[in-house]
């Protein structure tokens, strides 16, 4: 199963496409769409998010998409802009008949790091570890998108075989055990 995780934003929109091959997660493609550098016009940014996500989906052919659920900020303008960017990304996905799943920020952090209150650097560290890659600190939007995709694999029994016991889980997932 191939999954695209998206961390939408009105300034930077992170994305990551991964799949599971046997017991390993494999990175297919990841990056960020820096829409603020292109234009200050919000409608133009939304158009760029929509078009770029559409091209990524066509190129990578994911089976499912995953988004972080909306959180509410004290700044209403920021929340509105984030919601618009998210809607543009979701529309690009839905237009290609790909199912959309959502997880809360806390759920994503907990599934990837073991701690729901983990910081972005901890998420980056675990994403690098689980995917065996080396994203630099500057790519936090990309690592957040990859964490969203990883969360779906880790929480969805369809995308990974269920374990009969803790011993079975440890045997199948030695990279998820912290010593």
Of 108, 106, 140, the C-alpha closest to 121 is: 140
24, with CB counted inside 10 A (0-12, 13-18, 19+), is exposed
Q: Find the domain containing 68 and state its range.
A: 2-176
Catalytically annotated residue among 48, 68, 121, 144: 68
In the annotation, is 175 catalytic? Answer: no
DSSP H or E stretch at residue 82: helix 76-94
In the annotation, is 168 catalytic? Answer: no
pLDDT tens for the 179 residues of the chain, in order: 999 999 999 899 999 999 998 888 999 999 999 987 777 899 999 999 999 999 999 999 999 999 988 776 678 888 899 999 999 999 999 999 999 999 999 999 999 999 999 999 999 999 999 999 999 999 999 999 999 999 999 987 554 444 456 676 677 767 767 66
**Six token digits for residue 110:** 């907990």
- pTM metric for this prediction: 0.84
**Residue 143: DSSP 8-state:** H
| pLDDT tens per residue, range 36-61 | 777 789 999 999 999 999 999 999 99
Number of domains in the chain: 1
Q: List for the chain the helix, strand, coil content (%; round to 5).
A: 50, 20, 30
Q: What is the CATH number of the domain that holds 9?
A: 3.30.420.10
In the annotation, is 141 catalytic? Answer: yes
Quickly list DSSP for 28-62. EEEEEEE-TTT-S-HHHHHHHHHHHHHHHHHHH--
pLDDT at 90: 97
First to last CA, the chain: 30
Catalytically annotated residue among 7, 19, 48, 144: 7
| pLDDT tens per residue, range 133-154 | 999 999 999 999 999 999 999 9
Catalytically annotated residue among 19, 48, 141, 144: 141
Tell me the CA distances in angstroms from 124 to 30, 54, 79, 137, one per residue in order.
13, 25, 24, 7
């Amino acid at each position: 199963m191939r999954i695209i995780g998206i961390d939408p934003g009105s300034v930077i929109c992170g994305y990551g496409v991964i799949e599971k091959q046997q017991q390993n997660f494999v990175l297919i493609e990841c990056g960020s769409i820096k829409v603020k550098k292109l234009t200050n016009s919000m409608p133009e940014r939304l158009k760029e998010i929509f078009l770029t996500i559409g091209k990524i989906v066509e190129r990578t052919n994911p089976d499912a998409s995953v988004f972080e659920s909306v959180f509410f900020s004290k700044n209403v303008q920021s929340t509105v802009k984030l919601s618009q960017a998210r809607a543009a990304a979701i529309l690009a996905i839905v237009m290609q008949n790909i199912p959309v799943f959502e997880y809360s920020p806390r759920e994503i952090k907990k599934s990837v790091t073991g701690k729901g209150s983990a910081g972005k650097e901890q998420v980056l560290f675990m994403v690098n570890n689980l995917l065996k890659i080396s994203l630099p600190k500057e790519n936090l939007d990309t690592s957040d998108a990859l964490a969203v995709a990883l969360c779906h694999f880790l929480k969805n029994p369809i995308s990974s075989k269920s374990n009969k016991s803790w011993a079975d889980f440890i045997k199948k997932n030695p990279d998820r055990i912290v010593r």
